[in-house]
Structure 1
């Protein structure tokens, strides 16, 4: 704990972390408690550091109350997969568990470039971790007040630069992991090892979650401005020479609390490769020591920067690393979507990016997606890549396998030529029925919203155009709606705040346009706005740029001062 924290009333999360014996708590004992299907007291929070959130099926909650039963407690597990790479054998193990041992039967690809299990009941939790460990997967530090799964530009074998970027994502992930052996002791029956310190994260870990990315311009598919720490690859003659470092992005906010807001990351400067891990460690360590441990709503890195000043934060990082940031090297983002379809690699092999709506891999009546992915995994000799846009890449396909893999994909609905650009550029968080924070529908509502938006685009004569549209069930930022051209943020059942004005590059925060409105109101507004856009836009002007230029919403330049203005 830093000196500044000694004279303030800390949040209770600080107490529970300090008393947890380095994240052990009494989780092992709670796992054996058959009276409840959930975890109680501090363990409810501590299991997050092991990659799990306790949830329940909200669709049946009220019915269970009538039956005098507790909610149907279960956990959601999020795996740690730096850069999103998973091998076919690992995929098959994940597929088998999701089908046999979860209540929903699905694999959910997330915006954190990994997969989630939903609906794992208490008796299955330990076996789940042991199964994942047996194929080289863990869920250490994918939730809780730690550095989360490190994102990386996908298709890392498209060039040597992509491969290097991926390797750095893995190194950063490993370097910033908790050093406690609590995970292995509790879930893998490892030998108890005394933990005396966490040299990087500290005894009470971070004030709040911390997110890191490695990205290669011009594609910003990881949405760097949603993350605390970003390494933007800089190359010379096709060779990685270092990174531009950007710090302090984040999208979460709280309805009605103007002290919370989404924020873009600030440019700190360029660093040569040899300082990458040290810079990652000490951006994190400054946030560890200077972050707000009193009010968790203002505990993220973005608020620390605004409170102490970007220059002061940057100077402290330089002091701890022992190196000055060089001036930012030129870079530019032009897009952030996944390139659906085939892409050729540098090794003569190809990569097939599959569009997966909302990342939900399940067998639907007309689209048996899960079966199709399993059949591909059974014959594929390369690997799979999960993207930050919830899609799946079949990577490293030799020429003689392309036809059979494409055939399987088409037969199982994994390739659908009817998918519009609007559908491919829309995204949703999980929301109901599993997320306890959800205020409105998101994933289950998205298909209907897409269809109605497609109809409006067709009505105004631009059916092949699209708007980057994202819908989320609450304002916590999971679906990155606060970087969308049109973002719907849940406010209550069937009600959303509508934000407009993001851009194609993912470098602008949208601004509130409509507050707490239902579908009839915002679809009427979209009808009018799309009509204006179709008739009055400049050549190549995206929807988000159009609404800013026409003064429909003001541009958000500095979130802390003009997001609510």
Structure 2
């Protein structure tokens, strides 16, 4: 382990000089500009907000001699996706009053608002804190929103997993008081509008925080609904006699890549060691400290922990974790991922009540002439007042429904024009997309706005093939950064150029295998034909019980290309 001081990237210096994430954010909030400067843009991410501009308006504004249509995206930190009806109603109010009148359920079980103007940013984040939620560490080079199985099962292992999620969220959160100073303190009087804050130090992260973003998830072997292999740090529950005796710790997952740079690539997490429940927090801290001290701070393209794990090898990485932890860890048990449940439809909670998972296409809550998802959410929250849980597939679960109220809930959903989960096709239910255009600055082409029509065009051909009930994942992203976790899906479409996608095949809904590039630069209007061609070959040549991803992996790229070309 080299002790030579690294050559820092420019962002590392910004973090180090920021006085624990203060920067000049306070001064910029007080000026009349409609946007922040470059340094504060980076620091604001740690506070849970990104500066964006509406790319649909760029050309017209340029013609008019103007600048960009700037706004902020604000993301919450909602551990395990658990949110109360009161909090959801307050979020809906925020999106109507200060945002663009839509809310996005993210792929990490939280909510984000778009279109917040700079002048409204302090009010937005302050109001989120008044809801007893937070935006701190929803973005930035720290541990982000912790994912956990959202299913409500009373009095069992799910409660233990939720408790660990909350404990880790608290233990791994940044300690800087800058967040409360900026967002929950009255700028004129200096009085706190809420209790909070902390010491002027970062005992876990230090003044430069982590080299790159860090993601954590908790799953069950029979239910990998949070895609544990894509996490920097994963805790796979080991259950014996109905109780969690510990966790298999996985490290080094990450989806982002830059195709033009061969040194970058997606990676799945590797099994490292076993820990008991009372060791989990300290093991998590030890993993973070290894990444903090040895992760790449020179080149952000290769700064995720996956590159450190690959460079060192899992044994060397484990030894470093054990050194920080203070004692050796046991080897992983044989427990591995065997299944996935998206928790859609009616499911029993174990206490006589039910939960209902509603499939929300691409996680977007909005109202228009055909469908009124926000109005639906308002009525459900007001009528039932129960807790809800966001899923890793951008959908939502309504909990604590009395069996006598099943018809009432479904009637509310249908009355607002929303399809029930039972009315949603399997291919649509298992698809998801990132935001992409027009607000994401990294997007190369469409994703969220393209996927619904793509699914529309796929449903009938799949039905004709008798595959309408076949479960496989389709994930679409507007760029290779991989926010919708494309690289371990059965089918993935990753933006490569305007209206063109790289098509990946051969992952799977279990999430434990990377896909391969099947075709590059596929035009948007040819994507459906390409998928249907593969589906036809799958239908004819699959083994009994074989999934689409398993089939594509078994056949391989070259033979599959030959088979589809021969069938044309």
Report if TM-score (shorter chain) is over 0.5.
yes
Match of 1:16 in 2: 14
Match of 2:469 in 1: 464
Partner residue of 2:26 out of 25, 28, 45: 28
Secondary structure at the aligned position of 1:240 is classed as strand
Secondary structure at the aligned position of 1:42 is classed as helix
Task: Confirm or deny that 1:536 pairs with 2:541.
Answer: yes
Contact residue 242 and residue 273 of structure 1 kept, 8 A:
yes
CA distance in 1, matches of 2:36, 2:528: 42
Match of 1:259 in 2: 263
1:287-366 matches, within 5 Å, as 287-366=291-370
CA displacement 1:340-383 (0-9 Å, x = unmatched): 21111122211110000000000132211110011011122320
**Aligned-residue offset at 1:548:** 1.7
Match of 1:423 in 2: 428
**Aligned-residue offset at 1:516:** 1.4
CA distance in 2, matches of 1:525, 1:399: 44
C-alpha spacing 1:419/1:296, structure 2 compared with 1 (3 Å): same
CA distance in 1, matches of 2:63, 2:155: 58
**Aligned-residue offset at 1:454:** 1.8
CA distance in 2, matches of 1:551, 1:350: 43
C-alpha spacing 1:5/1:384, structure 2 compared with 1 (3 Å): farther
User: Which range is displaced more, 248-257 or 462-471?
Assistant: 462-471
CA displacement 1:24-72 (0-9 Å, x = unmatched): 00101111221x2111131011100000000011111111122222211
Secondary structure at the aligned position of 1:270 is classed as strand
Match of 2:564 in 1: none
Contact residue 23 and residue 43 of structure 2 kept, 8 A:
yes
Contact residue 485 and residue 502 of structure 1 kept, 8 A:
yes
Match of 2:82 in 1: 85
Contact residue 343 and residue 397 of structure 2 kept, 8 A:
no
Match of 2:566 in 1: none
CA displacement 1:253-275 (0-9 Å, x = unmatched): 00211100011111012111111
Task: Confirm or deny that 1:172 pairs with 2:168.
Answer: yes
Match of 1:275 in 2: 279
Partner residue of 1:97 out of 65, 89, 94: 94
What is the number of residues matched between the two proteins? 551
Secondary structure at the aligned position of 1:25 is classed as coil
CA distance in 2, matches of 1:106, 1:523: 28
Secondary structure at the aligned position of 2:557 is classed as coil
Secondary structure at the aligned position of 2:423 is classed as coil
- TM-score, with length taken from structure 2: 0.94
- TM-score, with length taken from structure 1: 0.94
Match of 2:457 in 1: 452
Match of 1:499 in 2: 504
Contact residue 472 and residue 508 of structure 2 kept, 8 A:
no
Match of 1:45 in 2: 42
CA displacement 1:448-501 (0-9 Å, x = unmatched): 111222233133232332431111000111011111111000011100111110
CA distance in 2, matches of 1:3, 1:178: 27
Secondary structure at the aligned position of 1:71 is classed as coil
CA distance in 1, matches of 2:505, 2:250: 24
Contact residue 175 and residue 200 of structure 2 kept, 8 A:
no
Partner residue of 2:211 out of 207, 210, 214: 207
Contact residue 152 and residue 349 of structure 2 kept, 8 A:
no
**Aligned-residue offset at 1:415:** 3.9
CA distance in 2, matches of 1:263, 1:183: 33
Contact residue 387 and residue 400 of structure 2 kept, 8 A:
yes
CA distance in 2, matches of 1:554, 1:384: 46
Task: Confirm or deny that 1:406 pairs with 2:404.
Answer: no
CA distance in 2, matches of 1:369, 1:457: 27
Partner residue of 1:231 out of 215, 232, 235: 235
CA distance in 1, matches of 2:178, 2:289: 22
Contact residue 369 and residue 414 of structure 1 kept, 8 A:
yes
Match of 1:72 in 2: 69
